[in-house]
Every structure is written in C-alpha cells, then in structure tokens.
Structure 1
Amino acid sequence: MAKIVISFLGTGNYQEAEYTWDARTYRTRFFPAAVAQWIKPDRLYVLLTDEARNHPNWASLQAELTNQQIEYQDITIPNGSSESELWEIFERLVGLPQEDDEITLDITHGFRSLPALALLAMVYLRIVKQVNLRHIFYGAYEARASNSSTEPSVARVPTFELTPFVTLLEWASAADQFLNTGNSTVLGKLLNERNKKLWKDEGAQPRTLQRLGNGLTTLSEIIASLRAREVPTAASNLVSALRDAEEEVRTYLPPAVPILENVRKAYEPLATPVRANQLERPEDIRSHLRVQWELLQKYIRWKQWVQAVTLAREWVVTLLCWRCEQPVLDKEVRESVAKHLNPTSEADKKEIKQDTDYLKDLDEAEKASFTGVWGRLGQLRNDIAHCGMRRDQRSAEDAIGQIENLTSILEPLAQQIKD
C-alpha cells in the first residue's frame, strides 16, 4: 500500500501564506508543498495543463518539492474545454492509484470544473479499486486572516477537510440501493466504517453506532436468504438500535438522519417481539403471518422475484396450518398440507384418505379459495424453481407480471389474518 497525494497547479498569482491544518503550519505559495510536508507521501502527482507546465509556478513548485525531498511526478492534462477532454482528465485521475493505495486529494489550485471532477473520481476509485481516501484538502485562501502584527502581508490560511462530502455521496448511493432493493448491507458497512474512524482517528467513543451497523447488515442478510421466521426479531432489534443510536447519529452522522428514518419506516412493520421459536400459540403464528405478508409485499416492491414466489408458497402452507391448528414447523405436516391442497399422484390421494383432513374445518368457498390460489401459485413457483429449463417455460416478462400480481391473488386468504 502506497501513500499518494494528487494535486493540481495552475497559472494563478499565488501569494505566500501560512497554511494551517490541525496544529500544523507551513509557509508557501503553493498548497501542494504544504500537503507534501504534512503527509510525507510516497508519491506526489501534480496535474497541470501545457500552459501551467510552461508557467514559472511549476518551476518554483518543483524547486520547493526537491528541497523537501519529495518524490513527484507531473501529469499533463487537457484544458477541460469539452466533454471529451473532461473524460480524458477523469481517466487519468482514476489511472493514478493502485488498489489499496491511501489517497490524499488536494483540489486547492484546481480550476473550473476540476475540483468537482476530482471528487467524483475519488468516489469511483473507492468503489472500483477499493482505495482508501484519507483526506480531501482545500486550502481556503479566501478565508485567510492576518498572520501577525509584525507580518501583516502574510496571511494565515485554514485548510478545509472535504472528505465528508465524498462520504455523503456514498451515503446517498447506499440509501438509493436500500430504497430500490431492500439491501441495507452498504449502509451497515458505512456506519461501521464511521464508527471505526471516530474511535481511531477522531478521539470520539460512540457506543451505539456499531450495534446499529451490525443490525442493518444482519437483517438485510436474513431477508436476502429467506429466513422468514427470523425477520421479526431481527427487525425489532434494528428498530431498537435505531432508537438508541438517534443522538449519536445526529452528532456524528447528520446526513444519515433522514436516510435512517427511511430505514425505520421500512423495517418497523416487520418488527414484533415474538421470537422465531415461539410459533406454537395461535396468536404468535398469526403475528408471524402478518410480518411475512408485509415482507412478501416488500420482496415484490424490491423486485426480488424468486424470494417473493418462494415466500408466498410457504405463507399459504403456514396459513393453512394455523387454520387447522397444526404445528407450523413440522416438516411432515407441512408436506402433508401441501398434498391436501394439490394431490398430484394416486399415492398422494391414498395418503390423504388415511391422513387427517386438513380442509375439514373450511367451508366450500374457503376450500375453493385455498386450492385455487395453490394451483396458480404452484405453477408459477415450479416455473421459477426450475430456472426455465422446460419446453413450455414462461417468458421473463410473463413470470414477473404474475409475481407482481401475487398480493392480488393472495388477498382473499390474507383477510383471515387481518383485524
């Protein structure tokens, strides 16, 4: 892993100033020299146009870097006067670091759109090359103050740390992923990274952020892997973690406040204190059926088609077990209930005659509703489960259309678990 700095240099009339960062100071005309002094990089890349290369600024900066014994490399870039030139600059920026490099970006002497382009390049690099974006610096000369009464001409210039703004873009991207897919693992990762940075680099000691980050990841993994009866407890734990972390989120992660509020609204309907192994009392089973009904609708909204079909089938079996007061987690009972709904062979029909009649307590309309829904659902589920490896497979468009209509198909049965 190399420690690198990426800077820009233009043709401006840069004035000597005393740049400050934390408790450090450095007097120079060129902010890249201050960054080099503070960071001590393995490599310093200076991006400049042909005009900047031929300007006295470049010769002066080279002399200063050589005096500091900083290894540097100049990178020629176009003026950025067209879209194609901007893409060329972007490609050169993202081509500089290697995977796992630690980057400090200095945008102080960048001109026109270069600072914005560089920020976007850093977001891209964090995702594609897994680089560690350590700092984004801006030497804010416009925020200068007089250094002292003895040298009023030498300004004292603060250095702004802009890294959180890149993190903000990542939070926005993670939020978009969650809202569209239900996957909150990236949000969990960002929370845990922020928590680690607070403890390691900023001297803060948050107590609730890690639990919240882990809760987001855990619930997302449970939902993705169709652990339906684990969802209520995991959702309850997450809602509790969100409530406990509210103050620390507002303190350390203000941009995440509205994002995590959306998370709470999405997951709160899935939260119930009934544990995964508490599926014996009818009221507990009914509670789980309600949660799974909510989850089914979310799978459809999130376009998780396979999960939606798989859950829908098991939900119908659980619903009938509940109606017939049968153990919902007994494998043999569930298989027998499925055969009652749709006997597919003479052996199935014979077994049903010898077995309990699970439909005996239902009136004719209810029986018709269960068996009708089961028939439509079974065809769709088999088509999905066999991955289309049949001569008469549905088209993807047809399968998705039917999955999107699942809640309408199941709604007559869902009325039984509603108040």
Structure 2
Amino acid sequence: MNSDNDEAIKVLLTFLGDRREDRPYELVEYCLEKEGTKTIQTHITGAALAHLTGPYDKVVVFVTKTSSKNISILSEDLGEMEKLLHIHEIEEEYDEGSLLLAIDTIISAVSAEGRPVNLVIDITHGFRYLALLYFSAISYLTLFREVKIDGIFYGKYTGTNQTAIIDLTPAYAFVQWTQAAHAFTESGKVDFLARMLHARKMDLITSNQSDKSMNDVVKCLQGMAYPLTHPLPIEIGQAVHLFLNALDELKNESLLSPAFAHVLDDITQRIAPLSGQMIPRKKREVILDNDEIRKELKIAAWFLAHGRLGDALIVLREYLVNAVLLCENKDDWLVHEERVRVSSRLSALSRNIENESISQLLSENQREIADIWQELSVLRNSYAHAGFKQDRIRPDREMTRAYELLERCSNLPAVTLRFESTHGRLLISPLGLSPGTLYSALLRFEPDFVIVLTSSDSIEAIDQIVKKANFPKEAVKTISYVDPFVGYEEIPHIVNSCLEDLLLSDQVICNITGGTTLMGETVRTIYEHCRRFDISSQLFALIDRRSRKEQEKNPFFLGDCIQLS
C-alpha cells in the first residue's frame, strides 16, 4: 500500500454476475488485446485484469445476494491479492431509488480513502445495466473527486482457447472529450478542454505521426484560456487565429479520428468569428480597421451568449472608443492618452445631451452614440464597481438591455465627435477696470472670436479696447456678471452660455488674468470643460511688469504671457 497520503492509489473495480449452476465460470486464458503475449488463466475477467494490469492497492467487487456465492472463485483467482479485496453488496431491484443507491455505493467505495485514485474498470460480468451505473458514477468521480480513469476493459469470451480483454478506454475518453467541449461552448472556459486534449490526445488521432500537430493544437488551445477568460479582444483574436491554423494543419494530415473531427468542427464554427490579426512584435502596430471593430462586436456578443455581462459591457465601451478613433484615422489608437481623450469627450457629450446649446449642434448619429455611451456607462458601472450601489442587480433585465445596446452599436454608422468649426481660434478673457490685459490678449493670441467676461462697470470699455487692438467688434461676445465679486453661483450659467462657441472652435485660449477672482475662476472652469470635451485648449496668464502709475498712464501696452497649461 502507498504510504504518502498525497500519492494516488490504484483501484480495480469489477462485478460478479450470478452464473447459472449449469454454466459456471470456466477457467479461461486471458490476454490484453493490444499486448497479446502476456496471458493468465483465471475464471473471472476481473482477476485476470488484476494480474495483467497490476499492481493494485485495492480491488473493489460489487455483488448481489445471489452472486455473492462466487466470491470464493474470485478470491482463489486473485491469489495473494485476495487481501486487497473489498466487497460491496448492491440491490437487484430496478427502481429509481435502488439504482441511485447503487451509484452512491460505487462512488463511496472508490473515493473512501480520501486520496487521488487511478481507476481501472472491468465491465465484463454482471447485469447489463451495470455498465450505465458505472459510467454515471465515474462521470461524477472524474469531475468532483480526484479520480483518473486508467482503463475500461471488457473480456470478449468467444469459447476459443484464448479470450481477449478489449480496451474500451478510448470510447469513454470521447465521452469526457465531448463533456469538455460542451463546457467550453456553454461557458467559454477552455481550461478543462485543454487538459482533456492533453491527457487523451493519443486516443483522438489515428497515427503517432500526428503527435506534433496535436501538441500544437493543445498548446494553442491553452493559449486561448487567458484572453478568453478576460475581455482582451486583440489577444483573443490572435489566440483564436493561431488555434484555427494549428487545427487546419492537423486536419490536413487526415489522421483525426472521425468523432473527434466532428466535435472540433463544431467548436471551430463557434469561435471562428472571433479570429483576428496577429499581434506584431510591437503591439502599437496593430491596425485599427473595420475588420477589427467588427470582431470586437462579435466578441461582445460571444460574452453575452455565455452569460458574461460585465465583460461584454467592457468590450462594447471600448468598441465605441475605437469606432470614433477609426473615423478619425488614428494610427495611435492604442495610446492611453488618445483613448482617454475620446472617452472624456463621449462622457461630456452624453452628460450634456439634453443641454439645448449642445443638442442643437449634434447630428442624429452623434446624439445616438452619446446616448449609447450614457446607457452603457450606467449599466457597466454596476459591474465595474462590483454591484456596490443602492439599486438591486436585475440580471434578466440588464441582460436584455445589454443585447439592445449591442444591437444599437451594430447599427451605428461611422461617426465623428467633431463639429464644423466656425471660430477657428477662440479667446476667453475677463475684463475688469483695467483695459490692458484684454488689449494684450487680443494682440498676443490673435483670435478669430473672443468672449469677454465682464461687469456692468467695465462693459463700456470694450469698444475702445477692440478699436485700439484693431479687432472687429462683431467678433466679440460679452457676458456680464450680476455680482462680479461673489457671484459664484453664476458660474454654471456662464459656462453653459459659452458651450456652443467652445464646441465650434478649433482652439480655445483661456486667459485667467485681468478681472476679479470670480472671473478668473470662471475662466478656469471653462478651460476644464474644454478638456472634457476634447477641445484643443491652453491656459494663460498675462503679466504687466510696469508700475501701477505707468499702467494707469498708458494702459494699452503689450504685456508678457505665461502658459499655465
């Protein structure tokens, strides 16, 4: 007996039938069909297997009341191995309760040691329905206990001098293989399938010449495990591509067993749509094209079909980012800053989709992508934050919403988030009691349009300033504060008044100097909105280093500028 508790024990499982008195168990010469040279004479196939495939740590035999009379024959056949014999009695009834009890008895007998088991099964003797009970029990044992099937054998008695013991293990290997394939198609998890292929690969091919090709298939299948477990569309595309190529090589050799080829064809049909491009040595060289984003939609659909809602939502969100980047012809689509830029613009548009200033600028497609983004973000956040929210998770409803979003994404045409520019360069600048700062800003930045944030006390100075700067008065928009010192509650309204002009500008220059502290804070808030909407923008401060007396004497002086951001 093995002494290490973690070491597998080898167990033989057999059954004694109830032979009639006029047809007792005969002494037969047995040989393993594949070997043919080594033989043993016994009355019972299970005893022959014990001698031909041993040594064993345990021999488990199942009997009924009537077949127990043959235990002495088995004991005699086993010889010194009789001490390993464990006898279990099962009922001869056929009702559901008796059958389930028999299955439980088999499970308990095999796994009683609480250690890993290498199991060999003899299905020669006993009632014919017992084979099904064996298979039911070992299906459980191999999945939920540390039991490995080393062999399933049947003694093919022909009445001749020698009886061959046939190895039926490949037939059960195919059962395990189809279970693994089913687990993959249902859950998308390939670990079990890869392990099964690796363990039983020689049962599934018809020649040792295909060993390398099968190894390549196993290796590629294992390579799919990690990306398919996580939402990694580029890596999934490459892994599936490699697997399908390795599979084609194996098929081209025409050495696959037919049953194996049939199941692999089914798997191929299911995952082929996920195949993508190979990843270059530098991942940044991966090409963003229509094939790539169509594949991403198929991967999102695949995740949904396998109940992986959170992963599907992540992929759909990134799909929208990629759809915008594709429309912009961006080669640097994998650069983090580029993706954040598009994400921020989508978020800003979606949050302000009901804003009248923005809504009137949006095309139908821009409004649709902003709305999808908003709904997708709300749904995704439930899973991105592990469900920590006040509302209940409602799986059926949320799965339905996800499928609807997938459909809307699929129907979304190419769309840009840009608007046709009408301003070119836009200047945002405060105006306090000193006209010099606005004058310097107009000369320094040469804007096409300017929004002046001012007060009722300063607004009349604008005409003189633009005239001195030779700037067209019709290109000036003024926004006046009710209280230019403490009216901080006015900031949201003023920012909203600027939004349309911001979105219609190629570049926005924000000057924070020249007015009250409130005006400077408003300009900084406008600058932050520009960043959210992915509008090219810069933040400046203008400095007049002259004395106050000189400034009052000649306010129209070109000061220095400092870029803050």
Aligned partner letter, 1:290:
R
1:307 CA displacement: 0.8
Summarize the Cα distance change of 1:414–1:101 in structure 2 as closer, same or farther, 3 Å threshold: farther
Summarize the Cα distance change of 1:406–1:216 in structure 2 as closer, same or farther, 3 Å threshold: farther
Per-residue deviation, residues 321-348 of structure 1 (Å, max 9, x unmatched): 12123321121221121121122899x9
d(CA) in 2 for partners of 1:60, 1:330: 77
Aligned partner letter, 1:33:
A
d(CA) in 2 for partners of 1:319, 1:238: 27
| Corresponding residue to 1:100 among 116, 123, 131 | 116
1:388 CA displacement: 2.6
> Which residue of structure 2 lines up, in the alignment, with residue 240 of structure 1?
245
> Which residue of structure 1 lines up, in the alignment, with residue 175 of structure 2?
169
TM-score (norm. length: structure 2): 0.63
| DSSP 3-state at the match of 1:272 | coil
d(CA) in 2 for partners of 1:29, 1:414: 77
| Corresponding residue to 1:29 among 43, 46, 57 | 43
> Which residue of structure 1 lines up, in the alignment, with residue 347 of structure 2?
342
> Which residue of structure 2 lines up, in the alignment, with residue 297 of structure 1?
301
| Corresponding residue to 2:96 among 83, 88, 108 | 83
Summarize the Cα distance change of 1:415–1:188 in structure 2 as closer, same or farther, 3 Å threshold: farther
Alpha-carbon contact 1:41-1:70 (below 8 Å) kept:
no
Aligned partner letter, 2:43:
R
| Corresponding residue to 1:219 among 220, 224, 249 | 224
1:267 CA displacement: 2.4
d(CA) in 1 for partners of 2:318, 2:210: 44
| DSSP 3-state at the match of 2:61 | strand
Alpha-carbon contact 2:43-2:73 (below 8 Å) kept:
no
Per-residue deviation, residues 135-190 of structure 1 (Å, max 9, x unmatched): 1111111xx1532xxxxxxxx21111111222122122122222222223322211
1:284 CA displacement: 3.8
| Paired residues for 1:183-222 under 5 Å | 183-195=189-201, 206-222=211-227
| DSSP 3-state at the match of 1:405 | helix
Per-residue deviation, residues 333-369 of structure 1 (Å, max 9, x unmatched): 21121121122899x9xxxxxxxxxxxxx97223212
Summarize the Cα distance change of 1:106–1:80 in structure 2 as closer, same or farther, 3 Å threshold: farther
> Which residue of structure 2 lines up, in the alignment, with residue 49 of structure 1?
64
d(CA) in 1 for partners of 2:263, 2:204: 20
d(CA) in 1 for partners of 2:61, 2:127: 13
d(CA) in 1 for partners of 2:373, 2:131: 59
Aligned partner letter, 1:101:
V
Per-residue deviation, residues 251-272 of structure 1 (Å, max 9, x unmatched): 3543221111122222222223
1:241 CA displacement: 0.5
| Corresponding residue to 1:117 among 133, 141, 144 | 133
Alpha-carbon contact 1:383-1:393 (below 8 Å) kept:
no
Between Structure 1 and Structure 2, whose CA radius of gyration is higher?
Answer: 2
1:370 aligns with 2:369: yes
> Which residue of structure 2 lines up, in the alignment, with residue 58 of structure 1?
71
- Greater displacement, 96-105 / 232-241: 96-105
* Unpaired runs of at least 5, structure 1: 148-155, 349-361
d(CA) in 2 for partners of 1:5, 1:231: 43
Alpha-carbon contact 1:4-1:42 (below 8 Å) kept:
yes
d(CA) in 2 for partners of 1:68, 1:315: 66
d(CA) in 2 for partners of 1:103, 1:34: 16
d(CA) in 2 for partners of 1:236, 1:132: 32
> Which residue of structure 2 lines up, in the alignment, with residue 391 of structure 1?
390
| Corresponding residue to 2:153 among 102, 125, 137 | 137
Aligned partner letter, 2:394:
S
- Greater displacement, 1-10 / 406-415: 406-415
1:274 CA displacement: 4.5
Alpha-carbon contact 1:309-1:381 (below 8 Å) kept:
yes
* Unpaired runs of at least 5, structure 2: 1-7, 353-360, 416-565
d(CA) in 2 for partners of 1:321, 1:203: 50
| DSSP 3-state at the match of 2:390 | coil
Alpha-carbon contact 1:19-1:25 (below 8 Å) kept:
yes
> Which residue of structure 1 lines up, in the alignment, with residue 268 of structure 2?
264
Give the helix-richer structure, 1 or 2: 1
Summarize the Cα distance change of 1:415–1:158 in structure 2 as closer, same or farther, 3 Å threshold: farther
Alpha-carbon contact 1:20-1:26 (below 8 Å) kept:
yes
Alpha-carbon contact 2:152-2:169 (below 8 Å) kept:
yes
Aligned partner letter, 1:108:
T
Aligned partner letter, 1:385:
A
| Corresponding residue to 2:27 among 12, 16, 37 | 16
Aligned partner letter, 1:8:
F
| DSSP 3-state at the match of 2:151 | strand
Alpha-carbon contact 1:80-1:89 (below 8 Å) kept:
no
d(CA) in 2 for partners of 1:69, 1:170: 32
Alpha-carbon contact 2:223-2:239 (below 8 Å) kept:
yes
1:383 CA displacement: 2.4
1:81 CA displacement: 2.4
d(CA) in 1 for partners of 2:81, 2:298: 63
Alpha-carbon contact 2:231-2:312 (below 8 Å) kept:
no
d(CA) in 2 for partners of 1:375, 1:83: 55
Alpha-carbon contact 1:274-1:284 (below 8 Å) kept:
no
> Which residue of structure 2 lines up, in the alignment, with residue 287 of structure 1?
291
d(CA) in 2 for partners of 1:380, 1:400: 10
Per-residue deviation, residues 91-124 of structure 1 (Å, max 9, x unmatched): 1111123432111111111213111111221222
Alpha-carbon contact 2:16-2:126 (below 8 Å) kept:
yes
Aligned partner letter, 1:42:
D
> Which residue of structure 1 lines up, in the alignment, with residue 401 of structure 2?
402
d(CA) in 2 for partners of 1:331, 1:340: 14
TM-score (norm. length: structure 1): 0.84
- Greater displacement, 312-321 / 394-403: 394-403
Alpha-carbon contact 2:173-2:203 (below 8 Å) kept:
no
- Greater displacement, 389-398 / 12-21: 389-398
Summarize the Cα distance change of 1:210–1:80 in structure 2 as closer, same or farther, 3 Å threshold: farther
> Which residue of structure 2 lines up, in the alignment, with residue 358 of structure 1?
none
d(CA) in 2 for partners of 1:313, 1:136: 51
d(CA) in 2 for partners of 1:146, 1:77: 32
Give the alignment's Cα RMSD to 1 decimal.
Answer: 3.0
d(CA) in 2 for partners of 1:80, 1:107: 19
Summarize the Cα distance change of 1:280–1:414 in structure 2 as closer, same or farther, 3 Å threshold: farther
1:71 CA displacement: 2.2
1:203 CA displacement: 7.0
